[in-house]
Amino acid sequence: MPSNLVGKADLNAYRIACFKLVSILARNDPYEGVSIDKVYLNLTDSTEAMLKKSPPHGLEVLVKEIPKSHVLGHENEVCGNAF
């Protein structure tokens, strides 16, 4: 990573790449930028739309996959106290 005259890393390329990535992710979902390399995406609307289009057996797959992820507000809903 290039550095400037003071010896600090030049983060411009990193900032540009992060901006490009966030602009792609944010096309369909609202987001909140937290830092140079962290954003929180609100996937609620996209997820609800996807679930409405899913076949009935899709919910069974989702129930099996929930313990592998973190869904705010649903930590213990499906998998007991696994979290």
Global pTM reads: 0.46
Say whether both 33 and 60 belong to one domain.
no
Q: What residues have CB less than 8 Å from 15, skipping those under 6 apart?
A: 36
Chain segment 3-55, per-residue pLDDT in tens: 556 678 888 998 898 889 888 888 878 888 888 778 888 888 888 888 788 77
Report the pLDDT value the prediction gives residue 82, as an integer from 0 to 100. 41
- In sign, the C-alpha dihedral spanning 65, 67, 70, 74 is positive
**Domain total for the chain?**
2
pLDDT confidence tier of residue 71, bands split at 50, 70 and 90: low
Say whether both 25 and 36 belong to one domain.
yes
Report the pLDDT value the prediction gives residue 80, as an integer from 0 to 100. 45
Quick one: which of 71, 67, 16 has its CA closest to 44?
71
Report the pLDDT value the prediction gives residue 39, as an integer from 0 to 100. 83
Say whether both 51 and 33 belong to one domain.
no
Say whether both 52 and 62 belong to one domain.
yes
Instruction: Name the residue range of residue 13's domain.
Output: 1-42
